[in-house]
Chains A and B, each alone.
Chain A
Amino acid sequence: MIAKIARKEFTEYLRDGRFRWTALIILALLLVSLGLGWKNYSDTKREMEAARADSRSTWENQGKRNPHSAAHFGVYAFRPKTPLSLIDSGLDNFSGSTIWVEAHYQNPARNRPIEDATALQRFGELTAAGVLQLLLPLLIIFLAFDAFAGERTSGTLRQILSIGVKRSSLVFGKILGTSSALFLLLIPATIIGVLALALATTNETLLSSLPRFLLMCVGYLLYFGAFIGIALTVSAWASTARLALIVLLGFWVFTCLLVPRLANDTAERFYPNPTAEAFWAKYDKLRKEGVDGHDPSNKKRKELEQEYLKKYKVEKLEDLPINFAGIAFNAGEEFAAKVFDKLYSEIWVGYYRQENLQKTAGVLSPFIPIRFFSMGMAGTDLSHTEDFTSEVEQYRRKFNRFLNLNIAENSTTKDGYKYFGDKKVWQETPEFVYQIPDTSWALSKQIWNLALLFMWCFGALGLSIFEGNRMKVL
């Protein structure tokens, strides 16, 4: 019986011109956005590769110079685009893509793509994720709003139930029918998505992206399930199809438009964004007074001098077999590292507080968990942004230690700054390689969002069965 009802719904949808047109438009938009995502991904990847090679060659060919002076010149770390960013660009437009790696300072990521756009960008970027998150629910609403309400008005509901069809079978049939119509759209979209991925990536990256991609699909299915459930519930509850439609459209506006922005602004009110001035003022203070209120950096330096004089049993720094400048620089870096760890972790704590408040708002809107979950799988969310910056920082420390110890080991204190490194040193300098974290790491950050999606999906579907069981026939 369920299959029969489902088939009837499905056939009806196919005959309905409204469905055909809306589905075609959405499919076209999906295609365009996937194409654009693919182009954006491959362009950016090429540019980044070129820039990375360029930056490295500038570094290797900088000629003879003091390694510390070279460290001041520094290198650049570029954030690679993840393959799945072609589906969901997430925060990529709003977070910096490059970090200047230099001596003494842990720099924030710079060059946000949004800086290079007009106000049109603020209407939202067309991405596959955007189409799936915003437009597909609307299609579901258009499909299902009169599922029960329409049959009630036309009197067919009474007929069906009078011939002994179980109410739950009716609801299951409607769920199945709506889902199969949706799959008619989703299956080609998924195939195209996989093709775009395959075109954009090498076999290896494609394989490593597949688990993330599959999880992403699961997330979207749960999201659509939630909307099907809600649409059917409202259709069963509402007295007329018109009322059902208005309530559902209102729900869409509330979920997809109002809650995300309200949550965002509320989060900013509660946990204000830091200012650059305050950050660097704090930095100066900590450097002067020491991280924990004692042991400022210049006191450390004196202790270090004594330590080395004792170690090599000499009277003056000039008599050391090594260059003390390198040792001092290295100690300075280690001290600064503590300061930066403290300051940046404060920044990230603030960011995550904002994120958590927004995530909590997911209780009110399934749009929020799917948005976070999708970004998380695409590798374009806040955690991935932080992972990149902290990897760069680990690299910066390695980079500086290498250069500072190079000074210490290859010259003496008497040489001072007159020691110059050559091409060999620059070639031996470690290079920054970034690997996107694995799927289980990404998934571990998404437990809450995934749980919410499950709750929304099965809660809504369950509710539709409940409502279907008690709905009025007339």
Chain B
Amino acid sequence: MFTKIIKNEWRNLFAERSFLVLAIVFAVLLGFGIYNGAKWIKERSEKSKALLVAQEKDFADKKEKTAKGFKGSFEPGNFQPDPASPYSIGMGLQYAVLPFSPTAIFAVGQSDILPIDAGVTISSIQRTIAAKAIGENPLSFLAGRFDLAFVIIYLLPLFILALSFNILSGERETGVLQILLSQPLSLKNLLTAKVTAQFVFLYALVLIVTLIGLLVSGVNFSAEGFLVRTILWLAVVFAYTLFWFSLAVFINSFGFSSATNAVACSAVWLILVLVLPSLLNILVSAVYPVPPRSELIAAERSVNLDMRKDGKRLLSEHYQDHPELMPKSEKPDLNDFGLAFVYVQRLIKEKMDETQEKFNNQIENQQNLVSKLRFLSPSIITGEAINDIAGTGLNRHKHFRSQVKEFDKAWGEFFVPKIYRLEKLSVDDFDKIPRFKYKEESTSEVSARVGLGILVLVLMSVGLMFLTFGKLENYRLE
């Protein structure tokens, strides 16, 4: 009987034109989301790759010139710095690139805000291209991006509710329910069979379209972590789908008319997907307010020194405090503008890093709170989980940032003492210049965070179904 109802439900679904149109539209939107995500990743990765290639080429050029004994050119109109100068290399911007995770296609997430190529320099970032970055059109952020995560978090529930808002009320209003229940069939079994039929159809649709999308967009299936992350994604989508179906049957169990059910379903969707997250956002930023950005500016400007005026004094003090930095053969020129500049920039950098840390800590506090509050809305659970799986959220970026910090330190330690000691890079030194290599976060951490979310989603769904079955006892057929 159970399978008969399922088959019948499918037959009914496919016979309805409006349903087919809806299903096709949904499939197209899924495809569009995947396409957009793939485009996004491709553009960004190519940009990062080009940066890294340019950097290595620059090192190779300088190494070759140094080997040939080229000492730079001061000819007017053709100024070239000494290729072996630790000052000119160290002051330049070295990019540490966060590669996209193999499953980044699942969500653009925060990757449009959190920089995936962090510039590192011995100077303060203030004067680098990173601080002068021409941003994206602010308008791009207003509407939000049409990626796969958007389709899953916003549209999938709508599609589910459109399918099932009248799963019982519709049958009752047409009189079919009364006829069906005159057969040896309980309401519970009927409902379970109908929901199962719709669920299987929908999940299969998402699965197939996504699989095709991944194949077409050239995702590397054998990449490390791909399988685990994809399985996690499938599980999250499964649990999220389950939740919305449970919610629809729960609303149906009250025995309202189809129109009332539709109003109730859309109101709940609105509250869980739109209203609650924005209210929680307010709460989170009120509990852990981020200091005003002007503090960063104040830090930037706290070291207010005129190198031309104060440079000599500062440098001689610095050499006295750090005798190990004294050049071995010659005396440093205390009027050297570049040396004083490095000194001042290091001071500013220190101040700015300290202040930046305050910002980062506060955002991390916010994120920790979000991880706790996410259980209030299935959309937040799913949103956080998808960002985690795609590796485009705060968690993976935090992991990246701590590695960049290490790299930044190594970069400074390599170049700054050489500058003060008035040393040049030897040919061999070029191979010793620190290079950034990202170490991936462990998938077990991701699995643990995501797994908890999935568990809660499933528990919520089970709870709703339990309540539904209880209410069905008193379901009125009139």
Contact = CB atoms under 8 A, between A and B. Distances in A.
Interface residues of B, number: 81
Interface of B: 29, 32, 36, 39, 43, 47, 51, 77, 109-110, 113, 126, 129-146, 150, 154-155, 158, 162, 166, 257-259, 262-263, 266-267, 270, 273-275, 277-282, 284-285, 290, 292-294, 296-298, 301, 304, 306-309, 359, 362-363, 366-367, 370, 379-380, 383-384, 387, 393-394
Interface string A92-108: 01111110100001011
Given A124-B278, A246-B162, A119 B290 contact: no
A264 B266 contact: no
A345 interface: no
Nearest to B367: A118
B266 A249 contact: yes
Interface of A: 18, 22, 29, 32, 36, 44, 47-48, 50-51, 54-55, 58, 62-66, 69, 73, 76, 78, 90-91, 93-98, 100, 105, 107-126, 130, 134-135, 138, 142, 145-146, 241-242, 245-246, 249-250, 253, 257-258, 260-265, 267-269, 272-277, 279-280, 298, 347, 350-351, 354-355, 358, 371, 382, 385, 417, 420
Given A114-B113, A119-B370, A351 B137 contact: yes
B312 to A, nearest CB: 13
B144 A122 contact: yes
Contacts of A90: 142
Nearest to A149: B259
Contact of A276 (B39, B132, B150, B154): B132
Contacts of A63: 306
Given A112-B138, A119-B110, 9 more contacts: A44-B292, A69-B306, A109-B135, A112-B135, A123-B278, A249-B262, A264-B143, A279-B134, A354-B139
A97 B293 contact: yes
A261 B150 contact: yes
A381 to B, nearest CB: 9
A237 B298 CA distance: 63
B310 to A, nearest CB: 9
A96 to B, nearest CB: 7
Q: Which 7 A-B pairs have the closest CB atoms?
A: A51-B294, A123-B277, A94-B138, A276-B133, A65-B306, A95-B138, A264-B143
A26 to B, nearest CB: 10
B304 A118 contact: no
30 contacts: A64-B306, A66-B306, A73-B304, A91-B138, A91-B142, A94-B142, A97-B293, A98-B293, A107-B131, A112-B135, A117-B285, A118-B284, A119-B370, A119-B383, A123-B273, A126-B275, A126-B278, A126-B282, A242-B259, A246-B262, A257-B154, A260-B143, A261-B145, A269-B39, A273-B136, A274-B134, A277-B129, A350-B137, A354-B140, A382-B138
A65 to B, nearest CB: 4
Given A55-B301, A138-B266, A241-B259, A385 B294 contact: no
A450 B298 CA distance: 42
A356 B92 CA distance: 38
